[in-house]
A and B are shown apart, each in its own frame.
Chain A
Protein backbone atom coordinates (compact mmCIF):
# COMPACT_ATOMS: atom_id res chain seq x y z
CA UNK A 1 0.00 0.00 0.00
CA UNK A 2 1.72 3.17 -1.19
CA UNK A 3 -1.19 5.29 -2.40
CA UNK A 4 -4.72 6.18 -1.52
CA UNK A 5 -7.21 7.49 -4.04
CA UNK A 6 -8.96 10.57 -2.74
CA UNK A 7 -12.36 10.73 -4.47
CA UNK A 8 -11.85 14.50 -4.84
CA UNK A 9 -8.11 14.80 -5.66
CA UNK A 10 -7.38 11.43 -7.29
CA UNK A 11 -4.57 8.97 -6.50
CA UNK A 12 -2.02 10.51 -4.13
CA UNK A 13 0.99 9.34 -2.17
CA UNK A 14 0.14 7.85 1.20
CA UNK A 15 2.10 10.43 3.19
CA UNK A 16 -0.44 13.10 2.19
CA UNK A 17 -3.06 11.27 4.28
CA UNK A 18 -3.46 10.84 8.00
CA UNK A 19 -5.15 7.86 9.56
CA UNK A 20 -7.61 8.91 12.28
CA UNK A 21 -9.18 5.75 13.71
CA UNK A 22 -11.23 2.67 12.96
CA UNK A 23 -14.98 3.07 13.17
CA UNK A 24 -16.56 1.90 16.42
CA UNK A 25 -19.18 -0.83 16.51
CA UNK A 26 -22.66 0.63 16.07
CA UNK A 27 -24.27 1.34 19.43
CA UNK A 28 -20.96 1.63 21.32
CA UNK A 29 -20.84 3.46 24.63
CA UNK A 30 -19.11 6.86 24.73
CA UNK A 31 -16.17 5.22 26.54
CA UNK A 32 -15.81 2.60 23.81
CA UNK A 33 -15.97 5.24 21.09
CA UNK A 34 -13.00 7.06 22.60
CA UNK A 35 -10.81 4.25 23.89
CA UNK A 36 -11.65 0.95 22.25
CA UNK A 37 -10.63 -0.08 18.76
CA UNK A 38 -12.01 -2.70 16.44
CA UNK A 39 -9.13 -4.83 15.11
CA UNK A 40 -10.04 -6.95 12.11
CA UNK A 41 -7.61 -9.02 10.05
CA UNK A 42 -9.40 -8.74 6.73
CA UNK A 43 -11.83 -5.84 6.67
CA UNK A 44 -11.09 -2.58 8.44
CA UNK A 45 -13.42 0.42 8.21
CA UNK A 46 -11.51 3.61 8.96
CA UNK A 47 -11.61 7.39 8.99
CA UNK A 48 -8.72 9.11 7.23
CA UNK A 49 -8.10 12.74 6.39
CA UNK A 50 -6.37 14.06 3.28
CA UNK A 51 -4.41 16.52 5.41
CA UNK A 52 -1.95 17.62 2.72
CA UNK A 53 -4.56 17.82 -0.04
CA UNK A 54 -8.19 18.84 0.02
CA UNK A 55 -8.35 18.20 3.80
CA UNK A 56 -11.49 16.17 3.20
CA UNK A 57 -12.48 13.39 5.56
CA UNK A 58 -12.52 9.95 3.99
CA UNK A 59 -14.16 6.69 4.83
CA UNK A 60 -11.70 3.96 3.80
CA UNK A 61 -12.34 0.24 3.74
CA UNK A 62 -9.08 -1.72 3.69
CA UNK A 63 -7.72 -5.20 4.16
CA UNK A 64 -4.96 -4.70 6.76
CA UNK A 65 -3.48 -8.16 6.15
CA UNK A 66 -2.87 -7.66 2.42
CA UNK A 67 -2.75 -3.86 2.31
CA UNK A 68 -5.46 -3.73 -0.37
CA UNK A 69 -7.73 -0.68 -0.37
CA UNK A 70 -11.27 -1.88 -1.03
CA UNK A 71 -13.23 1.36 -1.06
CA UNK A 72 -12.71 5.09 -0.50
CA UNK A 73 -15.60 7.46 0.02
CA UNK A 74 -15.46 11.17 0.82
CA UNK A 75 -17.55 12.07 3.85
CA UNK A 76 -20.15 14.79 3.66
CA UNK A 77 -20.22 14.49 -0.10
CA UNK A 78 -20.07 18.26 -0.55
CA UNK A 79 -16.59 18.39 -2.04
CA UNK A 80 -17.76 18.46 -5.67
Chain B
Protein backbone atom coordinates (compact mmCIF):
# COMPACT_ATOMS: atom_id res chain seq x y z
CA UNK B 1 0.00 0.00 0.00
CA UNK B 2 2.16 2.84 -1.21
CA UNK B 3 1.09 6.01 -2.94
CA UNK B 4 1.06 9.70 -2.18
CA UNK B 5 1.18 10.58 1.53
CA UNK B 6 -2.27 11.92 2.50
CA UNK B 7 -2.46 15.31 4.20
CA UNK B 8 -3.68 14.85 7.77
CA UNK B 9 -6.60 16.99 8.85
CA UNK B 10 -9.98 16.50 10.50
CA UNK B 11 -11.62 17.32 7.17
CA UNK B 12 -9.53 14.78 5.24
CA UNK B 13 -10.36 12.13 7.82
CA UNK B 14 -14.09 12.91 7.59
CA UNK B 15 -13.97 12.86 3.79
CA UNK B 16 -12.21 9.50 3.73
CA UNK B 17 -14.74 8.15 6.23
CA UNK B 18 -17.69 9.26 4.08
CA UNK B 19 -16.06 7.93 0.92
CA UNK B 20 -15.55 4.61 2.70
CA UNK B 21 -12.01 4.17 1.40
CA UNK B 22 -8.81 3.62 3.34
CA UNK B 23 -7.08 6.71 4.62
CA UNK B 24 -4.13 5.42 6.65
CA UNK B 25 -1.08 4.35 4.72
CA UNK B 26 2.36 3.17 5.76
CA UNK B 27 4.40 6.29 6.46
CA UNK B 28 7.76 5.43 4.92
CA UNK B 29 8.06 1.76 3.93
CA UNK B 30 8.25 0.26 0.47
CA UNK B 31 11.09 2.33 -1.01
CA UNK B 32 13.87 0.61 -2.90
CA UNK B 33 17.49 1.65 -2.93
CA UNK B 34 18.44 3.47 -6.14
CA UNK B 35 21.90 3.53 -7.70
CA UNK B 36 22.80 7.14 -7.06
CA UNK B 37 21.78 10.09 -4.91
CA UNK B 38 22.81 13.69 -4.35
CA UNK B 39 23.15 12.99 -0.65
CA UNK B 40 23.27 9.73 1.29
CA UNK B 41 22.44 10.19 4.98
CA UNK B 42 23.63 7.36 7.22
CA UNK B 43 21.36 6.89 10.23
CA UNK B 44 17.58 7.28 10.39
CA UNK B 45 17.40 8.87 13.80
CA UNK B 46 16.15 12.34 14.62
CA UNK B 47 19.12 14.23 13.17
CA UNK B 48 19.48 12.10 10.04
CA UNK B 49 15.78 12.28 9.21
CA UNK B 50 15.49 15.99 9.98
CA UNK B 51 18.51 16.76 7.80
CA UNK B 52 17.12 14.61 4.99
CA UNK B 53 13.78 16.42 5.26
CA UNK B 54 15.44 19.84 4.99
CA UNK B 55 17.78 18.73 2.19
CA UNK B 56 14.76 17.70 0.16
CA UNK B 57 12.44 20.57 1.12
CA UNK B 58 14.80 23.55 1.29
CA UNK B 59 17.46 22.52 -1.22
CA UNK B 60 15.58 20.21 -3.63
CA UNK B 61 18.15 17.42 -3.43
CA UNK B 62 17.68 13.70 -4.06
CA UNK B 63 18.32 12.02 -0.73
CA UNK B 64 18.49 8.52 0.71
CA UNK B 65 18.53 7.72 4.43
CA UNK B 66 20.21 4.39 5.17
CA UNK B 67 19.50 2.80 8.53
CA UNK B 68 21.16 -0.26 10.02
CA UNK B 69 18.10 -1.22 12.06
CA UNK B 70 14.75 0.59 12.17
CA UNK B 71 13.64 4.19 11.95
CA UNK B 72 13.92 5.71 15.41
CA UNK B 73 15.53 2.65 17.02
CA UNK B 74 18.28 4.69 18.68
CA UNK B 75 18.29 7.70 20.94
CA UNK B 76 15.37 9.54 19.35
CA UNK B 77 13.15 6.86 20.87
CA UNK B 78 15.14 6.47 24.11
CA UNK B 79 15.37 9.98 25.54
CA UNK B 80 13.17 11.56 28.19
CA UNK B 81 11.42 13.88 25.66
CA UNK B 82 12.53 17.14 27.30
CA UNK B 83 13.03 20.28 25.19
CA UNK B 84 14.53 23.52 26.53
CA UNK B 85 17.04 26.22 25.66
CA UNK B 86 18.35 27.24 29.10
CA UNK B 87 22.04 27.14 28.25
CA UNK B 88 24.76 29.47 29.48
CA UNK B 89 27.11 29.98 26.51
CA UNK B 90 25.98 32.24 23.64
CA UNK B 91 26.98 29.74 20.93
CA UNK B 92 24.73 27.18 22.61
CA UNK B 93 21.73 29.23 23.62
CA UNK B 94 21.20 30.80 20.18
CA UNK B 95 21.29 27.35 18.64
CA UNK B 96 19.05 25.69 21.25
CA UNK B 97 16.67 28.64 21.12
CA UNK B 98 16.42 28.30 17.34
CA UNK B 99 15.45 24.70 18.00
CA UNK B 100 12.85 25.57 20.64
CA UNK B 101 11.22 28.06 18.24
CA UNK B 102 11.05 25.33 15.61
CA UNK B 103 9.44 22.90 18.09
CA UNK B 104 6.64 25.41 18.57
CA UNK B 105 5.56 25.11 14.93
CA UNK B 106 6.87 21.64 14.06
CA UNK B 107 3.50 19.86 14.14
CA UNK B 108 2.28 22.25 11.42
CA UNK B 109 5.51 22.11 9.42
CA UNK B 110 5.45 18.31 9.30
CA UNK B 111 1.66 17.94 9.23
CA UNK B 112 2.13 15.47 12.08
CA UNK B 113 1.24 15.98 15.73
CA UNK B 114 4.46 15.80 17.75
CA UNK B 115 2.61 16.85 20.92
CA UNK B 116 4.82 19.79 21.95
CA UNK B 117 3.83 20.57 25.51
CA UNK B 118 5.35 23.80 26.91
CA UNK B 119 4.83 22.79 30.51
CA UNK B 120 8.00 24.49 31.75
CA UNK B 121 11.37 23.18 32.86
CA UNK B 122 12.18 23.82 36.52
CA UNK B 123 15.88 23.71 37.41
CA UNK B 124 15.86 23.44 41.19
CA UNK B 125 18.45 25.27 43.29
CA UNK B 126 19.46 23.54 46.53
CA UNK B 127 21.84 26.13 47.98
CA UNK B 128 22.79 29.79 47.84
CA UNK B 129 25.50 28.87 45.36
CA UNK B 130 22.95 27.14 43.14
CA UNK B 131 20.80 30.30 43.24
CA UNK B 132 23.76 32.42 42.14
CA UNK B 133 24.54 29.95 39.34
CA UNK B 134 20.89 29.96 38.27
CA UNK B 135 20.79 33.77 38.24
CA UNK B 136 23.96 33.91 36.16
CA UNK B 137 22.55 31.48 33.61
CA UNK B 138 19.17 33.23 33.66
CA UNK B 139 20.79 36.61 33.02
CA UNK B 140 22.80 35.20 30.11
CA UNK B 141 19.60 33.80 28.63
CA UNK B 142 17.67 37.05 29.09
CA UNK B 143 20.47 38.98 27.37
CA UNK B 144 19.98 36.67 24.39
CA UNK B 145 16.23 37.30 24.47
CA UNK B 146 15.29 33.89 25.85
CA UNK B 147 12.53 33.69 28.43
CA UNK B 148 13.22 32.51 31.95
CA UNK B 149 12.13 33.28 35.46
CA UNK B 150 13.85 33.04 38.83
CA UNK B 151 11.41 31.67 41.38
CA UNK B 152 11.71 31.63 45.13
CA UNK B 153 10.13 28.98 47.34
CA UNK B 154 6.73 30.71 47.55
CA UNK B 155 6.51 31.19 43.78
CA UNK B 156 7.49 27.55 43.25
CA UNK B 157 4.74 26.45 45.61
CA UNK B 158 2.24 28.29 43.44
CA UNK B 159 3.72 27.06 40.15
CA UNK B 160 4.17 23.39 41.09
CA UNK B 161 2.07 22.57 44.17
CA UNK B 162 2.97 18.85 44.16
CA UNK B 163 6.62 19.67 44.79
CA UNK B 164 5.80 21.44 48.10
CA UNK B 165 9.02 23.45 47.78
CA UNK B 166 8.68 24.82 51.31
CA UNK B 167 8.57 21.32 52.82
CA UNK B 168 11.27 20.53 55.38
CA UNK B 169 13.93 18.45 53.60
CA UNK B 170 17.40 17.05 54.08
CA UNK B 171 18.48 19.38 51.23
CA UNK B 172 15.96 22.25 51.26
CA UNK B 173 14.90 23.84 47.98
CA UNK B 174 15.99 27.48 47.76
CA UNK B 175 14.29 28.32 44.48
CA UNK B 176 14.54 27.55 40.79
CA UNK B 177 15.29 28.82 37.33
CA UNK B 178 12.19 28.19 35.25
CA UNK B 179 11.90 28.28 31.47
CA UNK B 180 8.20 28.32 30.70
CA UNK B 181 8.47 27.56 26.98
CA UNK B 182 10.52 24.47 27.72
CA UNK B 183 8.65 21.22 28.16
CA UNK B 184 8.21 17.94 26.36
CA UNK B 185 7.63 16.59 22.86
CA UNK B 186 6.52 13.06 22.06
CA UNK B 187 9.83 11.58 20.89
CA UNK B 188 8.65 8.73 18.66
CA UNK B 189 6.31 11.09 16.85
CA UNK B 190 9.30 13.25 15.95
CA UNK B 191 11.01 10.35 14.17
CA UNK B 192 7.80 9.23 12.53
CA UNK B 193 6.77 12.77 11.57
CA UNK B 194 10.11 13.57 9.93
CA UNK B 195 10.21 10.16 8.22
CA UNK B 196 6.73 10.67 6.84
CA UNK B 197 7.33 14.25 5.70
CA UNK B 198 10.66 13.32 4.11
CA UNK B 199 9.10 10.36 2.30
CA UNK B 200 6.37 12.65 0.95
CA UNK B 201 9.16 14.82 -0.52
CA UNK B 202 10.72 11.85 -2.29
CA UNK B 203 13.39 10.85 0.21
CA UNK B 204 14.09 7.10 0.21
CA UNK B 205 14.31 5.71 3.73
CA UNK B 206 15.89 2.26 3.63
CA UNK B 207 15.85 0.19 6.82
CA UNK B 208 18.00 -2.88 7.56
CA UNK B 209 20.67 -1.31 5.38
CA UNK B 210 23.95 -1.18 7.26
CA UNK B 211 26.71 0.93 5.73
CA UNK B 212 29.93 -1.08 5.75
CA UNK B 213 32.37 1.26 4.05
CA UNK B 214 33.05 4.50 2.22
CA UNK B 215 34.39 4.39 -1.33
CA UNK B 216 36.72 7.23 -2.31
CA UNK B 217 38.58 8.31 -5.41
CA UNK B 218 41.11 11.14 -5.77
CA UNK B 219 40.48 12.40 -2.25
CA UNK B 220 36.69 12.63 -2.45
CA UNK B 221 33.99 10.18 -1.45
CA UNK B 222 32.13 8.62 -4.37
CA UNK B 223 29.63 6.49 -2.51
CA UNK B 224 28.99 4.04 0.30
CA UNK B 225 29.14 0.26 0.49
CA UNK B 226 26.08 -1.22 2.15
CA UNK B 227 24.78 -4.71 2.88
CA UNK B 228 22.29 -4.07 0.06
CA UNK B 229 24.99 -3.08 -2.43
CA UNK B 230 26.96 -0.02 -3.49
CA UNK B 231 25.26 3.38 -3.61
CA UNK B 232 26.78 6.31 -5.44
CA UNK B 233 26.59 9.65 -3.62
CA UNK B 234 27.81 13.17 -4.30
CA UNK B 235 27.81 13.87 -0.58
CA UNK B 236 27.63 11.64 2.48
CA UNK B 237 26.39 12.63 5.93
CA UNK B 238 26.97 10.46 8.97
CA UNK B 239 24.38 10.95 11.72
CA UNK B 240 24.97 7.78 13.70
CA UNK B 241 24.84 8.95 17.30
CA UNK B 242 26.32 6.45 19.69
CA UNK B 243 28.36 4.71 17.03
CA UNK B 244 30.25 7.74 15.72
CA UNK B 245 33.47 6.19 17.01
CA UNK B 246 32.93 3.34 14.53
CA UNK B 247 32.48 5.86 11.71
CA UNK B 248 35.79 7.39 12.76
CA UNK B 249 37.43 3.97 12.60
CA UNK B 250 35.91 3.40 9.14
CA UNK B 251 37.41 6.68 7.93
CA UNK B 252 40.68 6.39 9.82
CA UNK B 253 40.00 9.32 12.13
CA UNK B 254 40.12 9.29 15.93
CA UNK B 255 37.46 11.62 17.28
CA UNK B 256 37.16 13.61 20.53
CA UNK B 257 34.22 11.42 21.47
CA UNK B 258 33.72 8.89 24.25
CA UNK B 259 30.76 6.50 24.14
CA UNK B 260 28.59 6.31 27.25
CA UNK B 261 25.24 4.96 28.33
CA UNK B 262 22.51 7.26 29.56
CA UNK B 263 19.58 5.50 31.13
CA UNK B 264 15.97 6.38 31.73
CA UNK B 265 13.01 4.69 33.38
CA UNK B 266 9.26 5.03 33.73
CA UNK B 267 6.81 4.09 36.47
CA UNK B 268 3.34 2.60 36.21
CA UNK B 269 0.73 5.18 35.12
CA UNK B 270 -0.78 7.25 37.90
CA UNK B 271 -3.32 10.07 37.94
CA UNK B 272 -2.06 13.50 36.82
CA UNK B 273 0.12 14.91 39.61
CA UNK B 274 3.06 16.72 38.03
CA UNK B 275 2.45 19.73 35.77
CA UNK B 276 6.04 20.49 34.77
CA UNK B 277 9.55 19.07 34.27
CA UNK B 278 11.68 18.98 37.44
CA UNK B 279 15.48 18.92 37.35
CA UNK B 280 17.29 18.16 40.58
CA UNK B 281 21.08 18.15 40.84
CA UNK B 282 21.95 16.61 44.15
CA UNK B 283 25.09 18.05 45.73
CA UNK B 284 28.01 15.72 45.06
CA UNK B 285 25.76 12.82 44.27
CA UNK B 286 23.77 12.77 41.07
CA UNK B 287 21.07 14.27 38.98
CA UNK B 288 17.43 13.44 38.38
CA UNK B 289 15.04 14.90 35.87
CA UNK B 290 11.43 13.95 36.31
CA UNK B 291 8.23 14.49 34.39
CA UNK B 292 4.86 12.83 33.97
CA UNK B 293 4.11 11.43 30.54
CA UNK B 294 0.73 11.90 28.89
CA UNK B 295 -0.03 8.26 29.73
CA UNK B 296 0.57 9.02 33.40
CA UNK B 297 3.93 7.32 34.04
CA UNK B 298 6.64 9.25 35.83
CA UNK B 299 9.57 9.39 33.41
CA UNK B 300 13.02 9.97 34.90
CA UNK B 301 16.66 9.98 34.03
CA UNK B 302 19.98 11.21 35.39
CA UNK B 303 23.70 11.24 34.74
CA UNK B 304 25.68 8.96 32.45
CA UNK B 305 26.60 5.49 33.68
CA UNK B 306 30.20 6.67 33.63
CA UNK B 307 32.26 4.39 31.39
CA UNK B 308 32.27 3.35 27.71
CA UNK B 309 29.53 0.88 26.85
CA UNK B 310 27.48 -0.29 23.88
CA UNK B 311 25.30 -2.69 25.86
CA UNK B 312 22.15 -0.52 26.07
CA UNK B 313 21.76 -1.80 29.65
CA UNK B 314 21.94 0.63 32.53
CA UNK B 315 23.91 0.26 35.73
CA UNK B 316 21.92 -0.57 38.84
CA UNK B 317 23.91 1.95 40.91
CA UNK B 318 22.98 4.83 38.59
CA UNK B 319 19.34 3.76 38.58
CA UNK B 320 19.42 3.93 42.38
CA UNK B 321 20.81 7.50 42.27
CA UNK B 322 18.08 8.60 39.88
CA UNK B 323 15.31 7.08 41.99
CA UNK B 324 16.73 8.61 45.17
CA UNK B 325 16.66 12.03 43.51
CA UNK B 326 13.08 11.49 42.36
CA UNK B 327 11.96 10.52 45.86
CA UNK B 328 13.81 13.49 47.36
CA UNK B 329 11.74 15.76 45.10
CA UNK B 330 8.42 13.95 45.32
CA UNK B 331 8.37 11.74 48.45
CA UNK B 332 4.66 11.09 47.84
CA UNK B 333 5.64 9.07 44.71
CA UNK B 334 7.86 6.65 46.66
CA UNK B 335 5.38 3.77 46.47
CA UNK B 336 4.95 3.92 42.70
CA UNK B 337 6.49 0.98 40.85
CA UNK B 338 8.99 1.29 38.02
CA UNK B 339 7.79 -0.77 35.07
CA UNK B 340 10.45 -0.16 32.42
CA UNK B 341 14.08 0.89 32.31
CA UNK B 342 16.29 1.34 29.24
CA UNK B 343 19.46 3.05 28.05
CA UNK B 344 20.74 4.85 24.99
CA UNK B 345 24.28 5.02 23.64
CA UNK B 346 25.55 8.59 23.68
CA UNK B 347 28.41 10.34 21.94
CA UNK B 348 30.05 12.41 24.65
CA UNK B 349 32.39 15.05 23.29
CA UNK B 350 35.27 16.52 25.27
CA UNK B 351 33.45 19.81 25.89
CA UNK B 352 29.82 18.64 26.05
CA UNK B 353 28.85 20.40 22.81
CA UNK B 354 28.05 18.81 19.44
CA UNK B 355 30.08 18.48 16.25
CA UNK B 356 28.57 19.42 12.87
CA UNK B 357 31.35 19.63 10.33
CA UNK B 358 33.20 17.99 7.46
CA UNK B 359 34.96 14.74 8.27
CA UNK B 360 38.24 14.03 6.51
CA UNK B 361 36.88 14.45 2.96
CA UNK B 362 35.46 17.57 1.35
CA UNK B 363 32.12 15.91 0.64
CA UNK B 364 31.74 13.86 3.81
CA UNK B 365 29.94 15.41 6.77
CA UNK B 366 29.45 14.50 10.38
CA UNK B 367 26.52 15.30 12.65
CA UNK B 368 27.48 13.87 16.03
CA UNK B 369 28.55 14.37 19.61
CA UNK B 370 25.15 15.39 20.93
CA UNK B 371 25.89 14.42 24.52
CA UNK B 372 22.69 15.05 26.52
CA UNK B 373 21.31 17.55 24.01
CA UNK B 374 20.46 15.45 20.97
CA UNK B 375 16.71 15.25 21.13
CA UNK B 376 15.93 18.87 21.86
CA UNK B 377 18.06 20.14 18.97
CA UNK B 378 16.67 17.94 16.19
CA UNK B 379 14.76 20.68 14.28
CA UNK B 380 17.60 23.25 14.42
CA UNK B 381 20.27 20.68 13.67
CA UNK B 382 18.31 19.35 10.68
CA UNK B 383 17.90 22.78 9.11
CA UNK B 384 21.46 23.99 9.78
CA UNK B 385 23.14 20.71 8.88
CA UNK B 386 21.19 20.58 5.60
CA UNK B 387 22.52 24.06 4.79
CA UNK B 388 26.06 22.91 5.47
CA UNK B 389 25.71 19.76 3.34
CA UNK B 390 23.93 21.54 0.49
CA UNK B 391 26.11 24.64 0.26
CA UNK B 392 29.39 23.43 1.74
CA UNK B 393 29.48 26.41 4.11
CA UNK B 394 28.40 26.19 7.74
CA UNK B 395 25.66 28.72 8.64
CA UNK B 396 26.56 31.08 11.50
CA UNK B 397 24.37 29.13 13.92
CA UNK B 398 26.65 26.08 13.85
CA UNK B 399 30.03 27.62 13.02
CA UNK B 400 31.14 27.10 16.61
CA UNK B 401 30.43 23.34 16.35
CA UNK B 402 33.39 22.69 14.07
CA UNK B 403 35.57 19.67 14.74
CA UNK B 404 38.80 21.68 14.81
CA UNK B 405 37.74 23.65 17.89
CA UNK B 406 39.40 21.16 20.22
CA UNK B 407 42.72 21.65 18.51
CA UNK B 408 42.48 25.43 18.28
CA UNK B 409 41.29 25.86 21.86
CA UNK B 410 37.77 27.14 21.11
CA UNK B 411 35.91 24.61 23.24
CA UNK B 412 32.31 25.24 24.25
CA UNK B 413 32.56 23.84 27.73
CA UNK B 414 29.12 24.58 29.19
CA UNK B 415 29.94 22.70 32.39
CA UNK B 416 33.49 23.98 32.80
CA UNK B 417 34.67 20.44 33.45
CA UNK B 418 37.64 20.03 31.10
CA UNK B 419 38.19 17.25 28.59
CA UNK B 420 36.28 14.54 30.46
CA UNK B 421 32.64 13.79 29.77
CA UNK B 422 31.56 12.41 33.12
CA UNK B 423 33.35 13.97 36.06
CA UNK B 424 30.62 14.91 38.54
- Seen from chain A, the residues whose Cβ lies within 8 Å of a Cβ on chain B are 1-2, 13-15, 18-19, 21-22, 25, 31-32, 34-41, 44, 46, 48, 62, 64-67
Contacts and interface: CB of A to CB of B under 8 A. Distances in A.
A46 B306 CA distance: 12
B256 A65 contact: no
A19 B307 contact: yes
A35 B306 CA distance: 17
27 contacts: A2-B315, A18-B306, A19-B307, A19-B308, A19-B422, A21-B258, A22-B258, A22-B308, A31-B406, A35-B407, A35-B419, A36-B254, A36-B255, A37-B255, A37-B258, A38-B245, A41-B246, A46-B308, A48-B307, A64-B308, A64-B309, A64-B310, A64-B311, A65-B310, A66-B311, A67-B311, A67-B313
A64 B259 contact: yes
Contacts of A38: 245, 254
B248 interface: yes
B307 A39 contact: no
Interface string B249-278: 100001111110000000000000000000
Contacts of A2: 315-316
Contacts of B254: 25, 32, 36-38
Contacts of B316: 2
Given A19-B306, A31-B407, A39 B246 contact: yes
Contacts of A19: 306-308, 422
A25 to B, nearest CB: 7
Residue from B307, B311, B313, B420 whose CB has the most chain A CB atoms within 10 Å: B307
Nearest to B261: A64
Given A25-B254, A37-B256, A37-B257, A44 B308 contact: yes
Nearest to B247: A39
Nearest to B312: A65
Given A19-B306, A46-B307, A39 B257 contact: yes
Given A19-B307, A39-B245, 5 more contacts: A22-B258, A31-B407, A36-B254, A39-B246, A40-B249
Contacts of A40: 245, 249
Nearest to B310: A65
Interface string B158-201: 00000000000000000000000000000000000000000000
A48 B308 CA distance: 12
Contacts of B311: 1, 64-67
B332 interface: no
A1 B309 CA distance: 10
